[in-house]
A and B are shown apart, each in its own frame.
Chain A
């Protein structure tokens, strides 16, 4: 298929009628398609990592931008998914689809249990609960010898994805890149579609005025609950591929660093724009890598970016493209 045509089709599906963004998404997708042909192996692998981290940022945005819930523990679903994926490939099965189904179901279960608790808390308390739970999960994994303790799990085999009539071997970096790109693009389109439905409208209404929504006959709980489930699954998509990229998983995947970094990505790209967090994810990941080769002070730079964006550009980069005054 022609790359441009595909991109146009994808762009037309998800984000039509949004002014500038109508062509920016297909343009970015086209650039992403061309990327492995101009960049070296190192950067292709970095881009894969960027997309996977971008997925967590997208997951943060579903909660923060659409439902007004700040999660400081979204990395937990990334870590949970990564560990389950690693365990499945190491001990259970080599079938990509089976692993995806197991991980998806397990994450849904955990998110349902936790969501039911966390959603009841308002505002800042939601942020604190998510933070606290992720912290506990990370510590439990860190302290559990069966899960490799602080060393994590190593030697994760890289599987092939069985599609009708074809086996896609993820060993090849370029193939892996396109698989991740298409997956993340599909996730993005899916999320865009879901949030463009009345469900998304109710979520926005809850974000803007939570106390008025019940009077319109909607129960905010179920909407927030489903948004929470959706966000958890999106973060889990990142975790499904990450162990295959790195070959190992460690307890830091649950950690505060990744959780907050994903909030930075969402913030830099533009909260509430969905595409912004993905772009922010790519930008921050590359920036950290480039800076990391010059200096060890990448946390410092991350902090400064954070401060500058919160202070001067709260809408993020894509917020600039929006019409009307920033929120």
Chain B
């Protein structure tokens, strides 16, 4: 029993943890954008994809992995900011903004995915891991690079938490989520807050793409596949909840990792959506509260 736990279960749990952290980064962006603007960004997966291709290109130019990890989030962030500025903003005054922005970002996602196919083709590329070697975590062999993912990912999550809950910027953010009109009347430039939220949320997706690049691969539908999962995370955690996104990402990644031991991975994936459905039925608003709500 104990060896089973140690050599079969534990490696899966560690794997799930690493994927869960990366998933949390993508889900955080989605949930922040929804929490603040009521916008479901269906192009978020393609922003993640842009991150993947940006990393690929930068490294191809000889930039090296570590410069990519610094630059790619900025590129993905700019793409997100442009999406907000050009596409989403004009639709915000509309009463049905949740629906129309969802449709708009969906259109953008189709265009971006197809553009990626035109520019890079349908092949899958892989990014070489910047560190090789294996280390032992509680007796379980773990590739060193996965620890890098874990470290950087956890750091990004902590920084996000710190910004949102411990800085003045975060206070403005939460105030805007709670009541944009009131916040604007205090002289806060709401438009800037919205743009910055899109920038930051998409930068997190870009970071996730660089981190996962060496583990998964870079291909045109990488974002689409990942987005559906990130959605499940956001739904389970509660749309607009920072804590919820992190908890649900770790939880669902574990469900997937552990279930994969006993059932085929495709069914494990289905199970993840089953959990999502269950949460929707029992607690439609998700497990945690939206940011800005007391």
Interface check A260, CB cutoff 8 A: yes
Judge whether B106 and A260 touch: CB under 8 Å: yes
Judge whether B280 and A128 touch: CB under 8 Å: yes
Judge whether A311 and B90 touch: CB under 8 Å: yes
Q: Which listed residue (B110, B239, B264, B273) contacts A135, Cβ 8 A?
A: B273
Closest B residue to A128 by CB, please name it.
Answer: B235
Judge whether A143 and B270 touch: CB under 8 Å: yes
Q: Which listed residue (A133, A135, A310) contacts B100, Cβ 8 A?
A: A310
A residues less than 8 Å from B103 (CB atoms): 263, 267, 306, 310
Closest A residue to B38 by CB, please name it.
Answer: A124
| Given A129-B280, A136-B273, A143-B270, 11 new contacts (CB under 8 A) | A64-B99, A124-B98, A128-B40, A132-B273, A135-B273, A143-B266, A297-B114, A299-B110, A300-B114, A303-B110, A306-B110
Judge whether B270 and A136 touch: CB under 8 Å: yes
Kindly identify, within residues 122 to 136 of chain A, every residue whose CB is under 8 Å from any CB belonging to chain B: 122-125, 127-129, 131-133, 135-136
**Chain B nearest CB, measured from A264 CB (Å):** 8
Please classify how large the interface on chain B is, using the bins under 10, 10 to 19, 20 to 34, 35 or more.
Answer: 35 or more
* Alpha-carbon separation in the docked complex, A70 to B110 (Å): 19
Judge whether A307 and B107 touch: CB under 8 Å: yes
B residues less than 8 Å from A132 (CB atoms): 231-232, 235, 273, 276-277, 280
Interface check A120, CB cutoff 8 A: yes
Closest B residue to A126 by CB, please name it.
Answer: B284
Interface check B31, CB cutoff 8 A: no
Closest A residue to B284 by CB, please name it.
Answer: A121
B residues less than 8 Å from A129 (CB atoms): 277, 280, 284
Interface check B120, CB cutoff 8 A: no
Interface check B197, CB cutoff 8 A: no
Q: Which listed residue (B100, B111, B264, B276) contacts A300, Cβ 8 A?
A: B111
- Listed in ascending order, the chain B residues whose CB lies under 8 Å from chain A are 34, 38, 40, 87, 90-91, 94, 98-100, 102-104, 106-111, 113-115, 118, 228, 231-232, 235, 239, 264, 266-267, 269-270, 273-274, 276-277, 280-281, 284-285
Judge whether A304 and B98 touch: CB under 8 Å: no
Please classify how large the interface on chain A is, using the bins under 10, 10 to 19, 20 to 34, 35 or more.
Answer: 35 or more
A residues less than 8 Å from B280 (CB atoms): 117, 121, 125, 128-129, 132
* Alpha-carbon separation in the docked complex, A70 to B114 (Å): 25
Judge whether A307 and B114 touch: CB under 8 Å: no
B residues less than 8 Å from A143 (CB atoms): 264, 266-267, 270
Name 17 A/B residue pairs within 8 A (Cβ), A-sorted. A117-B281, A122-B284, A124-B102, A135-B228, A136-B270, A136-B273, A140-B270, A143-B267, A260-B106, A267-B103, A299-B114, A300-B114, A303-B106, A303-B111, A306-B103, A307-B104, A310-B103
Task: Compute the total of residue contacts between A and B using a CB distance below 8 Å.
Answer: 102
Q: A70-B102, A132-B232, A306-B110 are in contact. Are A139 and B266 (CB under 8 A)?
A: yes
Interface check A302, CB cutoff 8 A: yes
Judge whether A307 and B108 touch: CB under 8 Å: yes
Q: A123-B98, A299-B114 are in contact. Are A306 and B277 (CB under 8 A)?
A: no
B residues less than 8 Å from A21 (CB atoms): none
Kindly identify, within residues 80 to 95 of chain A, every residue whose CB is under 8 Å from any CB belonging to chain B: none
A residues less than 8 Å from B232 (CB atoms): 132
Q: A303-B110, A306-B103, A306-B106 are in contact. Are A311 and B267 (CB under 8 A)?
A: no
Judge whether A139 and B273 touch: CB under 8 Å: yes
The 6 closest A-B pairs by CB, nearest first: A306-B107, A303-B110, A303-B111, A300-B114, A307-B107, A310-B104
Judge whether B118 and A297 touch: CB under 8 Å: yes
Q: Which listed residue (B113, B269, B281) contacts A139, Cβ 8 A?
A: B269
Closest B residue to A300 by CB, please name it.
Answer: B114
* Alpha-carbon separation in the docked complex, A82 to B281 (Å): 27
* Alpha-carbon separation in the docked complex, A104 to B106 (Å): 31
B residues less than 8 Å from A117 (CB atoms): 280-281
B residues less than 8 Å from A124 (CB atoms): 34, 38, 40, 98-99, 102, 239
Interface check A45, CB cutoff 8 A: no
**Chain A nearest CB, measured from B255 CB (Å):** 14
Interface check A142, CB cutoff 8 A: yes
Q: Which listed residue (A121, A127, A140, A299) contacts B102, Cβ 8 A?
A: A127
Q: Which listed residue (A140, A260, A299) contacts B113, Cβ 8 A?
A: A299
* Alpha-carbon separation in the docked complex, A127 to B284 (Å): 12
Closest B residue to A263 by CB, please name it.
Answer: B103
* Alpha-carbon separation in the docked complex, A263 to B94 (Å): 19
**Chain A nearest CB, measured from B26 CB (Å):** 16
* Alpha-carbon separation in the docked complex, A311 to B40 (Å): 16
Judge whether A302 and B266 touch: CB under 8 Å: no
* Alpha-carbon separation in the docked complex, A109 to B277 (Å): 18
B residues less than 8 Å from A300 (CB atoms): 110-111, 114-115, 118
A residues less than 8 Å from B34 (CB atoms): 124
Interface string of A307-318 (1 = CB under 8 A from B): 100110010000
Interface string of A254-287 (1 = CB under 8 A from B): 0000001001000100000000000000000000
Closest B residue to A123 by CB, please name it.
Answer: B98
**Chain B nearest CB, measured from A107 CB (Å):** 19
Closest B residue to A307 by CB, please name it.
Answer: B107
Q: A267-B103, A300-B111 are in contact. Are A120 and B284 (CB under 8 A)?
A: yes
Interface string of A132-171 (1 = CB under 8 A from B): 1101100110110000000000000000000000000000
